[in-house]
Structures are given as structure tokens and as C-alpha cells.
Amino acid sequence: MDKEIKDAILEMEKWLSDPHELGHKPVKIEYVKSFEDEDGIKCMIFKYKKSIFGKWLLGIVSESGTFSEMQEYHESTAVADAKKILDMLKNYWKELAKKIQE
């Protein structure tokens, strides 16, 4: 496993451990794949489990941030689901930039 993936796993675990999110590290986390969106933003997809017998959930680490809606991971829709999260993050930063400029 390369350093970029290892660093992204640590970032995802740190984000999930926040008390406002999962509140602890996932019991299992796996790198799925990476893609670049139409703006050239790199996004890494992960699947993780809250508990041993829990379902796989989807999370992303990207240049726009780390996030999970704690929705179930589905291999067939993973990229589309990750793109929705990435778009939400990009829109968040755009709105924040607008407010700062006002």
C-alpha cells in the first residue's frame, strides 16, 4: 500500500473519530479506488465498518475535504455516490468563499 493511501486512511480514521461524527475509529477500513472529477479534484473512495457485524459504509478523502454521510457502500454506485459527496463539499467551500467576500 502506498504512502498516499496510508495517509488518506489515517485522515479518514481521524475524521471518523471526531465526537461529532462516528466518535471512534472504524473497526475496518479499506481503500476502494480513486478518481478525478471534471474540475481535476482527486478523490479517494473508502469503505469502512462501524462495528464487526455492521454494513460497509462509504467515505471519501479528497482535496476538498474528508467526509462520509455514513451511507451504505454499494460497489456498483460507489463512484456516483462519492461524486455527490465531493460536489457537496465543493459547494460548501464555494458558499463559504462567497460569504467571506461579502
State the Cα–Cα distance between residues 21 and 7, nearest whole angstrom.
Answer: 19
- Decide if pLDDT at 92 tops 90: no
94 vs 69: which has the higher pLDDT:
69
pLDDT confidence band for 1 (50 / 70 / 90): low
pLDDT confidence band for 13 (50 / 70 / 90): very high
Say which residue the cell 477500513 belongs to: 29
Q: What percent of the chain has pLDDT over 70?
A: 99
State the Cα–Cα distance between residues 100 and 1, nearest whole angstrom.
Answer: 39
pLDDT, one tens digit per residue, over 41-81 is 999 999 999 999 999 999 999 999 999 999 999 999 999 99
